[in-house]
């Protein structure tokens, strides 16, 4: 039988997680409505019903709150599980061939941008400006996205055979560019494409890039 003393650390941890969740939820709504530059930590705290110091203690400054809000939207929850270990990423390995895997990855990109696209559009509409925290956020998510692209290429090659002639990182460069969130924003929000049209286009161009950069065994 558990004692109250043994349960306290778990209770405290859950309370801290609930506080972070409340801050993130309030911050997401506020950032979507007002953008990044016009939102202060004091405003975030007020919206979440906590003190500014609680925001700093629980998460950090405004840029750290934004990053956690972005990560939570991207993953669909606040569990500390990398995207590469989540079922939706692992599922693309079930594709029957290289083409199918890349088409499945395009659909995953569409799912992700459906989750985070509005937030990125709102906070980056005016650019980083002189805000070092926002600049670090942009740098971090771009590096994470490139790592995710590299994971896809490794998965592609491990499941469906390593091509004989890789083009020295060029495919990674092209995938990183094609899957950029600003491309989704341009096509879907600014050009009026449907979400499904974007996913179909991305799948086609990723397959074409793969064929262009690699000569497959047996072909």
pLDDT digits (tens, 9 = 90+) for 91-122: 898 999 999 999 999 999 999 999 998 999 88
Apex 216 CA angle, 213 and 218, nearest 5: 155
Q: Are residues 67 and 85 in the same domain?
A: no
pLDDT for 168 equals: 54
Q: Distance between CA 113 and CA 189 in Å, rounded?
A: 12
Q: Are residues 111 and 96 in the same domain?
A: yes
Domain tally, the chain: 2
Q: How sure is the predictor about 162, in pLDDT bands with cuts at 50, 70 and 90?
A: low
Q: Are residues 72 and 91 in the same domain?
A: no
pLDDT for 166 equals: 54
Give the list of residues 6+ apart from residue 31 with CB closer than 8 angstroms, or none. Answer: 39, 66, 69, 119, 122, 123
pLDDT for 219 equals: 47
pLDDT at 61 over 50: yes
Q: Are residues 6 and 40 in the same domain?
A: yes
Q: Are residues 101 and 204 in the same domain?
A: yes
Q: Are residues 63 and 114 in the same domain?
A: no
pLDDT at 189 over 50: yes
Q: How sure is the predictor about 216, in pLDDT bands with cuts at 50, 70 and 90?
A: very low
Min mean pLDDT across 72-81, 96-105, 198-207 is at: 72-81
Task: Give the residue numbers spanning the domain of 120.
Answer: 81-219
* pLDDT higher at 107 or 2: 107
Q: Are residues 72 and 95 in the same domain?
A: no
Q: Distance between CA 93 and CA 105 in Å, rounded?
A: 9
CATH code where residue 18 lies: 1.10.357.10
């Amino acid at each position: 039988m558990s004692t109250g003393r043994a349960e306290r650390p778990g209770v405290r941890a859950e309370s801290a997680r609930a506080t972070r969740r409340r801050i993130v939820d309030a911050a997401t709504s506020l950032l979507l409505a007002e953008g990044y530059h016009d939102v202060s930590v004091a405003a975030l705290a007020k919206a979440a019903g906590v003190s500014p110091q609680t925001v700093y203690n629980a998460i950090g400054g405004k840029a750290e709150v934004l990053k956690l809000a972005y990560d939570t939207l991207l993953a669909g929850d606040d569990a500390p599980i990398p995207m590469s270990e989540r079922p939706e990423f692992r599922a693309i390995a079930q594709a029957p061939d290289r083409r199918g895997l890349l088409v499945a990855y395009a659909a995953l990109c569409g799912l992700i941008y459906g989750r985070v696209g509005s937030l990125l559009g709102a906070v980056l509409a005016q650019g980083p400006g002189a805000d070092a925290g926002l600049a670090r956020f942009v740098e971090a998510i771009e590096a994470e996205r490139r790592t995710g692209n590299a994971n896809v290429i490794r998965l592609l090659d491990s499941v469906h055979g390593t091509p004989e002639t890789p083009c020295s990182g060029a495919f990674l460069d092209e995938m990183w560019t094609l899957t950029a969130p600003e491309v989704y924003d341009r096509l879907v929000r600014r050009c009026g494409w449907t979400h499904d049209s974007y996913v179909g286009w991305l799948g086609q161009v990723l397959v074409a890039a793969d064929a262009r950069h690699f000569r497959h065994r047996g072909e």
